[in-house]
Structure 1
């Protein structure tokens, strides 16, 4: 079986060294951090992008590769629409085929109740001119002629796209490097340097960098980094399992999902398979602390996550992971360069079996690669994109809740604007950090 391309032995592409100073330091080399750094550099700012492991090695390369407007929270839709435009523009700036294709996204409804749920989301699409529509049972059958299962209908968005995450995010990083972003891998930021109550620099494992602006885009590690500074945000991380098949006949060019399996046609002729709405939560100290904030989500979907008693050693919310350290101490970020959870092979086997059952005319479905990723999520399933009131000079982009890959280019542009004070162009009130402490009612993203 082919190993996942990013692991601790993956060669370093950007060895540094890090600069002594920068206008802005971006923490985290996933798609959010890479795009933030790119847009800051294009605005004329000197930028250092620091990654504790490898660019795109965690969830940014492990996601399904969907670039979708469909099913988005209404407050994310305008940002997502911008992201589609940016994806097209950025794909044209590299000679690498990142697999960007407009092939649509389709959600298959097993019954009338599911179809009603999809129809309830449609007004959000219509309000923004998105070409989402409901398919009848016969239209759905015509779209998937090789499918053995009969559906009540489907929700489809032809303008949605896809790309290959393992190719796309490194290609975006190369664009950022050409824009003079100083990218440094294997360089963990241990903590912020605070002077007179605001950011004055960052302390890395290789020394201090002077800066007055920092963007935290650390994915699953963000809440752990903040907690060391006394800032508590209820971010948790859940594991999702993914598989890639060997080459198969083309039964659908886009991305689709039923109640059992989500699938996407890959650039290599195979399919990426995953289980929609089935994730594993490793219960740790942060899970207990954050439980009151997640009660609304748990009541709405009590079986949405499988609870596991403890995270593996070194994970952000493992029981033995340290929560406090100084700039002179080795940190959890150095102890685990790449968060590389082992996939649940029982779940993987179910995925391949369900896909083969769905399309029985296919030749034997062989799995060529399996992996898992840790998705950073928030109680209301929308991210935090905000300046940090407790630590002036710090801007936060975290808790993308499994939506980060598709929306990444536009979120990077938005975070860059927050840093510089330029026009953001979108209403970010829904994404403010204080919504968890200002008495606001918890409002979940749409359950589609």
Structure 2
């Protein structure tokens, strides 16, 4: 069972038309809808479950520039500017605080990667630095491990995943958004080569544009339009603790364990060193484009063959307008966490930070991260279908860059001057001959 998310009510009346329909009530879909309604665009957001019930509430809550893919740096800079004022602009607590992010360094090779990243990040006015072992010890008192130093960005921050998207959704509704929860989109329909309407379980909605921001579901939604995107899912396991006093203000990754302070006095704990990848039919289908990334990350990825392969092979099919869809059968993706990893995370946490020797686990959960072969998102129109747009494949980076990603998506839908250059995030990079590859800095 996932974490408790701030509740958001649905709009009272079901709409029959809109300028833009956004599919997906995660933080990227909500950020897109918020940006659109602030521009006066008649917008409907449709969510098969509830706001932020999947990965948008299950992530770490880090808002980071540190170690990001260089291509994402303009977007995260723009996003951080929006995070700084988000409590004020939404009129609600999102949990955003700027306390810095630290990635500890174990090897000289890792330190060299961090130095190269700092050199490239300077062109985007990002003031990161390498901490010496003594400087790292000053920032994390009581640290019991041999680290060669750390990559540190003081201007980075954190927010509360269980609060941020709901706060943005409420602000969007106050600005005119029609939000429909428990309303699955079965199909996206076209007329004369462009989007004309969507068919939901509760009826049709005419529209001029559709934004697919369905996270792990986006591939299936696009497949229903005849559009193939090479997207897979990675399982991320997270826990939260009961309140505990510890002199650690920054978000910290120590490799086997990563943590941040929560507003409730507890800690969100995860691991930078291990994730589970369930083998599915899509794993085989997209083996080739993902192979370069897998070779680099294989030490941190645990491949698993189990029930998910059969489940997706038999039941994961695009929806049809007149039939009950998979989106109605599975309202919320709620995978079980990796129990062995949870146990190891607690052991490692207590070993490296004795201040956590008495830590008590309050809850654990897992989420499915939507990822692409180059680990940067698609935020783009679909050339062959006028009016169809997609924002997906955020590869674990979506929470931090969501405010600006939503603004960029809204700009593209409206044909406005984009907040950043959208070229790195274009959908066509998978078909236009570009060498698609991930950058690895951490």
TM-score norm. by structure 2 comes to 0.96
Contact 2:7 2:166 in 1 (8 A): no
Match of 2:385 in 1: 391
SS at match of 1:296: helix
Secondary structure of the residue that 2:229 maps to in structure 1? coil
On the 8 A contact 1:248/1:363 being kept in 2, the answer is no
Q: Secondary structure in 1 aligned to 2:299?
A: coil
> What is the root-mean-square deviation in Å for CA atoms of aligned residues?
1.7
Q: Distance in 2 between matches of 1:245 and 1:425?
A: 38
SS in structure 2 of the partner of residue 417 of structure 1: helix
1:223 paired residue number: 219
The match for 2:246 is 250
SS of the residue corresponding to residue 151 of structure 2 reads strand
* Cα 1:17–1:320 shift into 2, 3 Å: farther
Residue 319 of structure 1, CA deviation = 2.1
| Residue aligned with 1:26, SS | strand
For structure 1, the 5+ residue unaligned runs are: none
Deviation at 1:68, TM superposition (A): 0.4
Where does residue 20 of structure 1 map in the other structure?
Answer: 16
Question: Equivalent of 1:74, from 70, 73, 95?
Answer: 70
Give the direction of change, closer, same or farther, for the CA distance of 1:3–1:222 in structure 2 (3 Å limit): closer
Counterpart pick for 1:376 among 370, 381, 401: 370
- For residue 185 of structure 1, the aligned residue among 178, 181, 193 is 181
Residues 257-272 of structure 1 mapped to structure 2, 5 A cutoff: 257-272=253-268
Report the secondary structure of 1:407's partner residue. helix
User: 2:235: which partner in 1?
Assistant: 239
Which residue of structure 1 lines up, in the alignment, with residue 331 of structure 2?
A: 337
Unaligned runs of 5+ in 2: none
Q: 2:104 aligns with which of 101, 104, 108?
A: 108
Q: Report deviation, 1:346.
A: 1.4
1:54 corresponds to which residue? Answer: 50
* Aligned residues of 2:86 and 2:94 also touching (Cα < 8 A): no
SS of 1:302 mapped into structure 2: helix
CA distance in 2, matches of 1:295, 1:412: 30
How far did residue 430 of structure 1 move? Answer: 1.7
Aligned to 2:160: 164
- CA displacement, residues 345-386 of structure 1 (integer Å, 9 cap, x when unaligned): 111111111111111243411100100000000001001111
Inter-partner Cα distance in structure 2 for 1:172 and 1:325: 29
Q: After the TM superposition, which segments of 4 or more aligned residues of structure 1 sit over 3 Å from their partners?
A: 310-315
Q: Name 1:40's counterpart in structure 2.
A: 36
- Bigger proportion of residues as helix: 2
Q: Paired residue for 1:304?
A: 300
What residue number does 2:435 align with?
441
Following superposition, the deviation at residue 15 of structure 1 comes to 5.4
Residues 18, 48 of structure 1: 8 Å contact kept: no
Aligned to 2:404: 410
Closer, same or farther: CA 294–362 of 1 in aligned 2, 3 Å? closer
Report the 3-state secondary structure (helix = DSSP H, G, I; strand = E; otherwise coil) of the residue aligned with 2:119. helix
Shift of 1:95: 4.4
Which residue is 1:145 aligned to?
141
User: What corresponds to 1:359 in structure 2?
Assistant: 353
Instruction: Decide whether the 8 Å contact of 1:314 with 1:332 is kept in 2.
Output: no
SS of corresponding position for 1:200: strand
* Structure 1 residue 327: Cα displacement: 0.5
Listed one character per residue, the Cα deviations across residues 376-434 of structure 1 (whole Å, up to 9, x for unaligned) are 00001001111011221011101000010010000000000000000013222221112
1:127 aligns with 2:127: no
1:262–1:176 CA distance, 2 compared to 1 (3 A): same
1:291 maps to 2:290: no
CA distance in 2 between counterparts of 1:311 and 1:319 reads 10
In the alignment, is the contact (CA less than 8 A) between 2:408 and 2:422 conserved in 1?
Answer: no
